[in-house]
Structure 1
Amino acid sequence: MAAGVWWEAMPVLNFRFAVSLLAVSSFAVLPSAPVHAAVRRSIAVAPGPLDRAIAVLAQQAGVDIGSAEPGLEQARAAGVKGVLSASDALDRLLAGTGYAAQRLGPDSFRIVRRRIAPRPVRAVPKPVVLVVAPVVPDTEPAPDVVVTATKRATSQLRFPGALTIFRADGIARVGADAANGMDRAIAATPILQGTALGAGRNKLFIRGVADSSFTGPTQSTANVYFGEVPVAYNGPDPGLNLYDVEQVEILEGPQGTLYGAGAIGGIVRLVPHPVDLARRSATVSGGISTTRSGAPGGDIAGMINLPLLRDAVGVRLVAYNLVEGGYIDDVLRKLRNVNRVSTTGGRFDVRVAPAHGWTIDAGIVAQHVSAPDLQYAERGAGSLARASLLAQPFEQQYLLGRIVVDRRWEDGLHLVSATGLVHRDADSRFDATRPGRPNVPIAYDTDERSRLFSHETRLSRTGKDGGGWLIGMAVIHARDAYARMYGAPNRLRDIVGVTNRTFDAALFGEGSVAVTPALTITAGGRLTHQRTDGDPIASLKTTNFIRGRSSTRVDPTLGASWLLTPSLAVYARYQSGFRTGGITVAAGVGRVADLVPDSIHVGEIGLRKERRGATGLAGSVGLSVTDWRHIQADLVDRTGFPFTTNLGNSHIRGVEASVDWVVLPGLLLDAAMFLNDTRVSDPDPALRRQVGTRLPNTPPFAASGSIGYAWALGGEARMSVDGGWRYVGRSTVGTQAPLDVSQGDYGAAQLGTTWSKGRVRLTGTIDNVFDVRGDRFAGGNPFALAARNEYTPLRPRTLRLGGAVAW
C-alpha cells in the first residue's frame, strides 16, 4: 500500500472493516515488512488542522495513517520538526489534541480519541460571559529545530555556527502575506541589514560584512537562495516577495565551503512551502494600507494546492500583487507621492513522487517590479520632498526556473540534485543634471542583463548525536552585462560598460564526528576552479578587451559543538570565503579596470540554549573576528559616476546576542543586539582614506525587541497583540567625501494585532508608530550626493488592515 492517509479513500461505514483487515494483513507479513516507522527522518510539519498535518507527516515519514474518528479537521496540531522516527513524530504531533496513535503494523497507525476517565461533575448554572484564557501550548518537550541551509539535516542546537530562523507562524509573520517581505526579517534582527534603494535594487548585509550602499557589477556579500538554487550571482538582491514562504534561514558567514563564491557575509535561504500531495488547500490574503501624508497602498495574494494523483503528483500555484503607496513629493516637477512601487509575481510548482523515497520538484518563479521614481528626499526642499528635473524610474523582469530531484533511503542516506536557471533584466535612470545648469536635463541610464545557470548534486547522511557527512559537486555559469548611457534624455550616447562571464566548478565535502555523545567535531572544505572573462561593452555589444583569469583555491571549515546539557551547547567555528574578480567600471567616464578577488576569514565562538518545554528561555551569544582582504566595493566619484574598486582591508570584531523567552503560556518576549567594530586598514592610496576609518553601512550598535501575547476568546476564536522596536546606530554612506554623510541613528516601533477563528484571520498593523523620519542605508541619486543634502527617510506612519481565508 502506498504511504499516505487513507480515511478519505473509502466511506466511513466500510472503514472499520478496512482497519481490521489492514491490522490482520500487517501482522501476517510482519517478519518481511520494511520497518519504516523506526527509521529517523527529517520531519517538518507546520502547525494547522490535524487532518492536514497527519497527511503531511504520512508522506514525509513513508507510513500509512488512518482514522475513523470525527473532528480531526477541527482539531489543531502544533506542528513538529526534527530528525525523528514516524512513531515519535506522530506522538508529538498528537500531543494536546485529544487524540492518540495506535500501531497496527511496522509502518501503519490508527488515530483514536484519547479515553479519559469520567469525573463527577457538580451542576452549576452556566454563566453567559466571554471566556478569555491564554493559549496553552503543548506541554511536551519542544522538537529539535532543523536547519536545512546546512545542506544536511542539522539540529539548530548542535550547529557549530551562528544562525537565525524566521517562520511564517512566528511573531515576525514572515511569509504570512504579500506585504513588507524582507523588511520584516530585517526589522526583527540586527544581524541582517539592508539598503533602501528600492525593491530589486537593495543589497543585504550580514554581521557587518558590508561594502557599499551602491549596486553595480560586483557580487553581493550575502547570497540569497530560493530553496536549493541561487537567485543571482552578481548584482543586488532581486527582492523576491516572501508570500507562501515557510521560513527564512540566515546563516552567518562566510559559507564558502558549502556555497562557494559570494557567500562571504552569509546566506539568506528562502524555504517555500512544498507541494502537498495529500490534500487540496487554498488561501487568499489581502490588505489595504494608508501612509501619513502619502498615497494608499494594498496587497492581494493567493495560493492553490492540488493533488492531481494522491501521493504521486501535485501542483501548487501562488500569485500576488503588492502596491506600496508613495510618500515623496517632487517640488520642481510639482508631483506628489512619486515613489510608488508595484510588485507583481507568482510561482508554479509541480511535485512528482514516482516511487517510495523519491520526489521531483520543478517550478517557475516570475516577478515584475516597477517604480516610477526614487525614494530619496533633500533637506531644504520641504518635508519629505526633493527637487529633480527628471523622473528616475526603475523596472525589473525576473524569472527563475528550478528542478530538484530528492531521494531518501531508509538508512538515512539522502541525495539531492538541484538545477536552476535565472533570467534578470533591469533598467534604471538617474537625474545627472549639473548643478550649474539646472534647466539642461542630463540622464544617466543603466541596462543590466543577468543570466545564471547553476547545478549541484550532493549526497549526505545524518547520524545520531550530531554526526554525519556530506559530499557534492557544483557548477555555475554566469553572464552579467552592465551597459551605460549618458546625455540629454532624447540623445543618449553609450559610455563604456562591462560584461563578465564566470565559470565555476567545485567539489566540496563536510563531515561531523561524535567524539563523545556530547562533543561533535566538524571539518570540511571546498575545492574551486574558476575562470572569469570580461569585456567592455557599448549597447550590449561585446569586444574582447582583457584576457581571462583562472584561479584555483581551497576554502576549509572547522567547527565543534559541545553539548553541556540537553538544551545548552557551546560552539566554535573557523571558515573562509571569497568573491570573484574580473573586469569592472573604473573611476572616470569610459574606463575599465581589472578587479582583484577579495577573501575573508572568520573565527567565532558562541553559546546556544533551546527551550525544552512550553515556557522558558532560549537564546544565544557569540563573538566573532573577521579578516577581510582586498574589499571590493561599488562606489561613486565626486561627479556622481559609479565605479568599482578594491578599497583595502578590514578587521571586524563583533558581539551578538539574542533571547527568546516564553514567560508564561501565550506571553513571548524576544530581543537581540549586535555590537561591532570595523576598521579599514591598508587603504588604497588613490582613495585618500585614513587608516582606521569604519566601513560604510555598518552601525557599531543595532538592537531589536518585541513582545507578544495570545489568548483564547472561547470556541475556535483566538486573539493576539504584539509590539516591536528596532534601533539602528549611526553609520555613513561611504568613507570619503562626498560619501561621508551620516545615516542611521534612529529607532522605530511597530504594533500589531491578529484575530482568528477557524479558517479566517484578520490583522492590523501600525509601522513606524512614532513617525520617525530617520535616514536609511541608501545612496539615492548618486549625482546629487555632492550637495550632501540627500537622505532616504523611513516610510511615515503606516496603518494596514488585512485578512486571510483558508480552505
Structure 2
Amino acid sequence: MLPSVLLSLSVTHPVAAHAASRRQISVAAVSLDRAIAILAQQAGVDIGSAESGLGRVATRGVRGRLTAAAALDRLLAGTPFVAKQLAPDSFRIVRRPPPLPRQSRPVRATPKPPVEPAPEIVVTATKRDTSRLRFPGALTVLRPGGGLAFGDDAANGMDQAIAASPILQSTALGAGRNKLFIRGVADSSFTGPTQTTANVYFGEVPVAYNGPDPGLNLYDVDQVEVLEGPQGTLYGAGAIGGIVRLVPHAVDLSQVAADMSGGIETTKSGEPGGDIAAMVNLPISTGVLGLRAVGYQVAEGGYIDDVRRGMHDVNGTTTTGTRIDLRAAPAAGWTIDAGMVAQWVSARDLQYAERGLPALSRASLLAQPYDQRYLLGRVVLDKRWDDGLHLVSATGIVSRDADSRFDATRPARPNAPIAYDTEERSRLLSHETRLSRTGANGAGWLVGFAVIHARDTYARAYGAPDRLRPITGVTNRTLDTALFGEIGMALSPSFTLTTGGRITHQRTDGDPIDGQRTNAYIRGRSVTRIDPTIGASWLVAPSVAAYARYQSGFRTGGITVASGVGRVADLKPDTIRVAEIGIRKDRRGTLGLAGSVGLSLTDWRNIQADLVDRLGFPFTANIGDSRIRGVEASANWVPLAGLRVDLAMFFNDTAVAAADTAPRYKTGVRLPNTPPFALSAGVGYRWSIDRDGDAGVEAGWRYVGRSTVGTQAPLDVSQGEFGTGHLGGSWATGKLRLTATLDNVFDVKGDRFAGGNPFVLTRRTQYTPLRPRTLKLGASIAW
C-alpha cells in the first residue's frame, strides 16, 4: 500500500546538521504530516515515516530553542506515534508500541529488537517529492550550521556556500554582478547581455533571466539547493549548468518570533566593516494569516589602495535589503504566499589590483563605482491533498537596474580621463503551474506549464566623463512558453526508471540602441525545441543506490554587441547535453560514513561568451564547442558523537574546439573559470556545556586550481591556483549565540576568477586578490 506520507528535507552535501544542536524551533498547530515537514526544515534533520494516518492527527505545535529530539518528543506527545533516532541527523516516525502486559514471572531474556530500515529522505528541489537515495542524478543541499555560516546573520552568504562546495564556482567582479558556475560549465569572467549558465531561483520564481546573479543576501534563508547539470526539462532556457535555489524560512502562522544579529569585522590592511539584521514573525490571525519581515545592512570594508589618486581602501561595498512575506491558509491543505524582496548594492570602486605596485594597490584615474537596485515580487499558491496530490502555482515579477563605470583612459594619454559606462535595465514576468504526485521507490509523476516574458536593455556610453556619448547597445525581448512533464516508474522495488521532457516555443526580438547598424543581423528569431531527460536508480543495498541520467538544455539567442564600437551581431543559441552516472551512500546508525561519487560527460555546442577585445570593449560571441569530463566526490564521516569530518572534490577536463562560424578563436584551450581540480575539507566538533547551551569549533580548507580569464589573448591570463583556510567557534546559551571566525588564515593574496577592468587587461598586470585575513565577531538573539 502506498504510504500516506514520506516526509523529510535532505542534506546531501557532506556538511551535515547535527540533531544535538539547539536551534530556534517554531512549528504551528497543524496536522502531524505538515508539522514534521516544518520541523525537519527548521531543525536541519531528516525525518521519515511510512506510517499511514499522519495527516489526520492534530498537533499542538512546538516552540523554543530545542534539539531536534526534544522538539520531536514535544510534538508527538499525546499522539499514537513516537520518534526513533537512527543517526545524528535522522529520525523515523513509528507507531507507539502498546503497553506491555504485567508479567507473572520474570522474563529470562529480552529479544534483540529488529534493525530499523533507513527512512525515506525526500527532496523537493526536483519539483516533485523524490527520495534522495533514489534520485537519479547529482543533487546538493547546503544548510546553515555544520561549518556553513549563511542564514543566521547577514555577514556571510553565497561565498561561504561556494567555499564548501567545489562544484560551485563564481566570478569576483563584485556583489550584484557575479556569475555562478556549476560543475565546470563556465563561459567567461565578464558579465553582459547573455543568460548565465546557472539559473538562480528564490523559492519558486527566477531572480533573473539575462545578466549576472543579483547577489541576494542569504539572511533568514533556510537552505540553498543545487541541482547539477542542465535542467531544461524542469526549468527551461538558461539552466544549462544547473539550478541554485534559495529557500527562505516560511511564515509561521502560530507563534510570534523574532531575532536580531549583528557583527563587526576587521581586515588586515583594510577598513573595518559590520552587519546588522533583524527578523520578526507575526501571526495576524492564528493559523490563518501571518507576516514575516526581514531587514539587513552589510558594510564590507575596502582593502584596495589607489596610488594614483592617493586613496586608501577604495573598494568598500554596502548592501541594504528587506523582505516581506504574507502567508494565508484559507482552508485545509491550502497556503497562499505573497512577498517582495528589495535590495540595493552600492560599490565605491572595483576590487582589482595591479602587479608592479605596492601590494593590494593599483593606479587609475577615475573611480569605478557600481550601483544596483533590485526588486522581486512573488505569489505562490500551494495545495496538498491527503492522497499525495500536490498543486503549485507561482508568479514572479522582477525589476533590476544596474549602472557601472570603468576607467578607459588610454595609456598614450594618461592624463586625459576616459570613462566607459553601462546601464542594464531588466524586467521579467514569470508564471508556472504544476501538478504532481509522489509514490514509493521514486515513482510518481509531474506535469505543468510555464510562461516567461523578459525584456533586457544593455546601453553603453564612452568618452570624457563630462562629455559621454552613447555607443551601440542592444535590447532583447523574449517570450517563452513551455509544457513539461516527468514520470518515475518503479519497475521493481530496487529499480526505478524516470523519463520526461519539455516542449518550448520561444520568440526573441532584438534591436540596437544608441547607434547606427553597420552590419546585417536577424531582428527576430523563433525556435521550438524538445529537451528530454531519462534517468534510472538502482538500489544496490538498503543504504546504497546507483544512478544514471541523461538531460539537455539551451540558452536563447538574439542580437548582441559585437567586437568594436557601433556594431551588433547575431548570437546563436547554445545547447548542452550531459550524461552522468554515480553511486550514493546514506549513513545508517549513529556513526559512520556517508558520501557519493559521480562521473559526467558534457557536450556543449555554440558556446555563448561575454568577452572583451584588444581595446577593452566588451562584446558577446559564440566561441565554439567543448566537451567537459568531470568527476566529483564527497564524504561525511562521523567517527564519534559531535565530531564530523567533511571532504568534497571536483576534477574536470575541458577543451574548446572552434566551430566553423568562429575560426578566429583559439582551440585546444580550457574553458575559462574551470580549474581542473577544486577541493574543500573541514572538521568540526560540537558539545553541550549545560542544559541550555552548547559550543563548537571548526576548521576548513579550500583549494582552487589554475584557470584563465578567457580562451584567447588578451584573456589568456592565469587566475586561481590558491588555497585558503578558515577557523571558527561558537558559544550559545538560551537565546544568545556568540560567534568568532577567522577567514583567510594565512593571508593568501591569490587571484580570484574576475576580469576587473577590461581596459587594463592588455597590460597583463591585473589581478583580483582574496580579501586579506579577516576577523569577525558576531552575536545574535532569538525569542
2:557 to 566, 581, 589: 581
| Equivalent residue runs for 1:335-414 within 5 Å | 335-414=311-390
1:324 to 296, 300, 304: 300
Q: CA offsets, 1:287-309, max 9 Å, x none? A: 10000000000011111111111
Q: Partners in 1 of 2:388 and 2:550 — Cα distance?
A: 28
Q: Partners in 2 of 1:349 and 1:151 — Cα distance?
A: 22
| Equivalent residue runs for 1:527-538 within 5 Å | 527-538=503-514
Q: CA deviation at 1:280?
A: 1.1
Q: Counterpart of 1:268 in 2: which secondary structure?
A: strand
User: In the superposition, relative to structure 1, how do residues 96 and 450 fare at CA in structure 2: closer, same or farther (>3 Å)?
Assistant: closer
| Equivalent residue runs for 1:59-70 within 5 Å | 59=31, 61=33
1:427 to 403, 418, 428: 403
Q: CA offsets, 1:485-518, max 9 Å, x none? A: 0000000000000000000000000000111111
User: In the superposition, relative to structure 1, how do residues 86 and 95 fare at CA in structure 2: closer, same or farther (>3 Å)?
Assistant: farther
User: In the superposition, relative to structure 1, how do residues 630 and 100 fare at CA in structure 2: closer, same or farther (>3 Å)?
Assistant: closer
2:460 to 468, 478, 484: 484
Q: CA deviation at 1:173?
A: 2.8
Q: 1:312 is matched by which residue type in structure 2? A: V
Q: Counterpart of 2:187 in 1: which secondary structure?
A: coil
Q: Partners in 1 of 2:476 and 2:757 — Cα distance?
A: 25
Residue segments in structure 1 that go unaligned for 5+ positions in a row: 1-36, 66-71, 117-138
User: In the superposition, relative to structure 1, how do residues 60 and 300 fare at CA in structure 2: closer, same or farther (>3 Å)?
Assistant: farther
Q: Partners in 1 of 2:462 and 2:391 — Cα distance?
A: 50
Q: CA deviation at 1:712?
A: 1.3
Contact kept? 2:407, 2:417, Cα under 8 Å: yes
Q: Partners in 2 of 1:63 and 1:741 — Cα distance?
A: 53
Is structure 2 residue 206 aligned with structure 1 residue 230? yes
Q: Partners in 2 of 1:619 and 1:105 — Cα distance?
A: 34
Is structure 2 residue 666 aligned with structure 1 residue 694? no
Residue segments in structure 2 that go unaligned for 5+ positions in a row: 11-16, 60-66, 83-92, 101-114
Contact kept? 1:326, 1:338, Cα under 8 Å: yes
**Residue 58 of structure 1 corresponds to which residue in structure 2?**
30
2:626 to 646, 650, 669: 650
- How big is the alpha-carbon RMSD for the aligned residues of Structure 1 and Structure 2? 3.1
Q: 1:164 is matched by which residue type in structure 2? A: T
Is structure 2 residue 5 aligned with structure 1 residue 40? yes
Contact kept? 2:521, 2:569, Cα under 8 Å: no
Q: CA offsets, 1:54-94, max 9 Å, x none? A: 834735626899xxxxxx9xxx9775545765877999965
**Residue 490 of structure 2 corresponds to which residue in structure 1?**
514
Q: CA deviation at 1:736?
A: 1.2
Q: 2:348 is matched by which residue type in structure 1? A: P
**Residue 259 of structure 1 corresponds to which residue in structure 2?**
235
Is structure 2 residue 679 aligned with structure 1 residue 703? yes
Q: Partners in 2 of 1:250 and 1:78 — Cα distance?
A: 17
Q: Counterpart of 1:590 in 2: which secondary structure?
A: coil
Contact kept? 2:3, 2:440, Cα under 8 Å: no
Q: CA deviation at 1:465?
A: 1.4
Q: 2:33 is matched by which residue type in structure 1? A: A
Q: CA deviation at 1:279?
A: 1.2
Contact kept? 1:59, 1:278, Cα under 8 Å: no
Q: Counterpart of 1:58 in 2: which secondary structure?
A: coil
Q: CA deviation at 1:95?
A: 6.9
Q: Partners in 2 of 1:273 and 1:754 — Cα distance?
A: 22
**Residue 62 of structure 2 corresponds to which residue in structure 1?**
none
User: In the superposition, relative to structure 1, how do residues 370 and 79 fare at CA in structure 2: closer, same or farther (>3 Å)?
Assistant: same
Q: 1:58 is matched by which residue type in structure 2? A: V
Q: CA deviation at 1:784?
A: 0.4
**Residue 748 of structure 1 corresponds to which residue in structure 2?**
724
Q: CA offsets, 1:525-584, max 9 Å, x none? A: 00000000001112999xx97431101000000000111112110000000000000000
Q: CA deviation at 1:602?
A: 0.3
Q: Partners in 2 of 1:628 and 1:314 — Cα distance?
A: 46
Q: Partners in 1 of 2:372 and 2:4 — Cα distance?
A: 46
Q: Partners in 2 of 1:694 and 1:709 — Cα distance?
A: 39
Contact kept? 1:43, 1:57, Cα under 8 Å: no
Q: Partners in 2 of 1:449 and 1:458 — Cα distance?
A: 30
Q: 1:40 is matched by which residue type in structure 2? A: V
User: In the superposition, relative to structure 1, how do residues 490 and 720 fare at CA in structure 2: closer, same or farther (>3 Å)?
Assistant: same
| Equivalent residue runs for 1:262-661 within 5 Å | 262-538=238-514, 546-661=522-637
* Greater Cα shift, 559-568 or 634-643: 559-568
Contact kept? 1:59, 1:311, Cα under 8 Å: no
User: In the superposition, relative to structure 1, how do residues 105 and 713 fare at CA in structure 2: closer, same or farther (>3 Å)?
Assistant: closer
User: In the superposition, relative to structure 1, how do residues 55 and 261 fare at CA in structure 2: closer, same or farther (>3 Å)?
Assistant: same
Q: Counterpart of 1:458 in 2: which secondary structure?
A: strand
Q: How does the TM-score come out when normalised to structure 2?
A: 0.89
Q: CA deviation at 1:770?
A: 0.2
User: In the superposition, relative to structure 1, how do residues 466 and 638 fare at CA in structure 2: closer, same or farther (>3 Å)?
Assistant: same
| Equivalent residue runs for 1:200-215 within 5 Å | 200-215=176-191
Q: Counterpart of 1:411 in 2: which secondary structure?
A: coil
Q: CA offsets, 1:204-231, max 9 Å, x none? A: 0000000000000000000000000000
Contact kept? 1:536, 1:545, Cα under 8 Å: no
Q: 2:295 is matched by which residue type in structure 1? A: A
User: In the superposition, relative to structure 1, how do residues 669 and 200 fare at CA in structure 2: closer, same or farther (>3 Å)?
Assistant: same
Q: CA deviation at 1:604?
A: 0.2
User: In the superposition, relative to structure 1, how do residues 565 and 448 fare at CA in structure 2: closer, same or farther (>3 Å)?
Assistant: same
User: In the superposition, relative to structure 1, how do residues 96 and 458 fare at CA in structure 2: closer, same or farther (>3 Å)?
Assistant: closer
Q: Counterpart of 2:30 in 1: which secondary structure?
A: helix
Q: Partners in 1 of 2:619 and 2:382 — Cα distance?
A: 43
User: In the superposition, relative to structure 1, how do residues 792 and 53 fare at CA in structure 2: closer, same or farther (>3 Å)?
Assistant: closer
Q: Partners in 2 of 1:100 and 1:312 — Cα distance?
A: 20
Q: How does the TM-score come out when normalised to structure 1?
A: 0.87
Q: CA deviation at 1:693?
A: 1.1
Contact kept? 1:63, 1:86, Cα under 8 Å: no
Is structure 2 residue 698 aligned with structure 1 residue 722? yes
Q: CA deviation at 1:174?
A: 2.7
Q: Counterpart of 1:796 in 2: which secondary structure?
A: coil
Q: Partners in 2 of 1:204 and 1:740 — Cα distance?
A: 20
User: In the superposition, relative to structure 1, how do residues 206 and 540 fare at CA in structure 2: closer, same or farther (>3 Å)?
Assistant: farther
Q: CA offsets, 1:752-775, max 9 Å, x none? A: 001011211100000000000000
Q: CA deviation at 1:170?
A: 3.2
Q: Counterpart of 1:515 in 2: which secondary structure?
A: strand
Identity %: 66
Which entry has the higher C-alpha Rg, 1 or 2? Answer: 1
Q: CA deviation at 1:806?
A: 0.4
Q: Partners in 2 of 1:147 and 1:530 — Cα distance?
A: 30
Contact kept? 1:621, 1:657, Cα under 8 Å: yes
User: In the superposition, relative to structure 1, how do residues 488 and 618 fare at CA in structure 2: closer, same or farther (>3 Å)?
Assistant: same
**Number of residue pairs aligned between Structure 1 and Structure 2:** 738
Q: CA deviation at 1:146?
A: 2.9
Q: CA offsets, 1:3-37, max 9 Å, x none? A: xxxxxxxxxxxxxxxxxxxxxxxxxxxxxxxxxx9
Contact kept? 1:140, 1:614, Cα under 8 Å: no
Contact kept? 2:8, 2:123, Cα under 8 Å: no
Q: Counterpart of 1:491 in 2: which secondary structure?
A: coil
Q: Partners in 2 of 1:343 and 1:709 — Cα distance?
A: 33
Q: 1:774 is matched by which residue type in structure 2? A: G
Q: CA offsets, 1:439-462, max 9 Å, x none? A: 000000000000000000000000
Is structure 2 residue 160 aligned with structure 1 residue 184? yes
1:738 to 691, 714, 721: 714
Contact kept? 1:285, 1:300, Cα under 8 Å: yes
Q: 2:774 is matched by which residue type in structure 1? A: T
**Residue 107 of structure 2 corresponds to which residue in structure 1?**
none
**Residue 220 of structure 1 corresponds to which residue in structure 2?**
196
**Residue 131 of structure 2 corresponds to which residue in structure 1?**
155
Q: Partners in 1 of 2:728 and 2:719 — Cα distance?
A: 27
